[in-house]
Amino acid sequence: MNDRFEQAGRRRAVIALVAAAAVSALGSPAFSQDDLYPGRPGLVGPEGTPPEIATCETIGKTLDGFKPSRDRVDLWISGPLTLVHTDKVLWYLAVCPDTDIRVMCVTYSDNGMKVGDQVVLAGALQVQDRKHAVLDPCLASRD
């Protein structure tokens, strides 16, 4: 009877080791959830950090032909602020006025940022049309 318990215990230990190895492999860069959108700088799954942040120069490549799924997709983008506006409840920050796509961040504070500041915007992507994308909710910080 003790042999059965020992064998069962060893099997559980092996299963636990295999499961731990699988979880470890999934967390490695080769299997990272951050690489869900290869060739599209700045795109990542919810609350993730992309391997590369989009810029005003690369946002066209990032969103060209992109079809958002039903699942949340986050966008991280760096650029100079071109708009800082509030309606007294929310703040609207925007980057990339001179490119084909303007990106607006809907947030709760301007964090003292001003037009011209180099910033990083990160949030849930909503593609409005070919020329406008909104990140809502969004976090903004100086680059």
Query: Widest CA span of the chain, in angstroms?
Result: 76
Do 64 and 130 lie in one domain? The reply is yes
DSSP assignment, residue 17?
Answer: H
* 42-97: pLDDT as tens digits: 999 998 999 999 999 999 999 998 887 788 999 999 999 999 999 999 999 999 98
C-beta separation of 102 from 96 below 8 A: yes
C-beta separation of 74 from 104 below 8 A: no
Do 48 and 97 lie in one domain? The reply is yes
Residue type, 80: P
Which CATH number goes with the domain that contains 58?
2.40.50.140
For residue 68 the two structure tokens come to: 């958002």
Do 64 and 42 lie in one domain? The reply is yes
Domain that holds residue 25: 1-31
* 99-120: pLDDT as tens digits: 779 999 999 999 999 999 999 9
Do 1 and 39 lie in one domain? The reply is no
C-beta separation of 68 from 51 below 8 A: no
Whether this prediction's pTM lies above 0.85 is answered by no
Per-residue pLDDT, 127: 93
Q: How many domains does the chain have?
A: 2
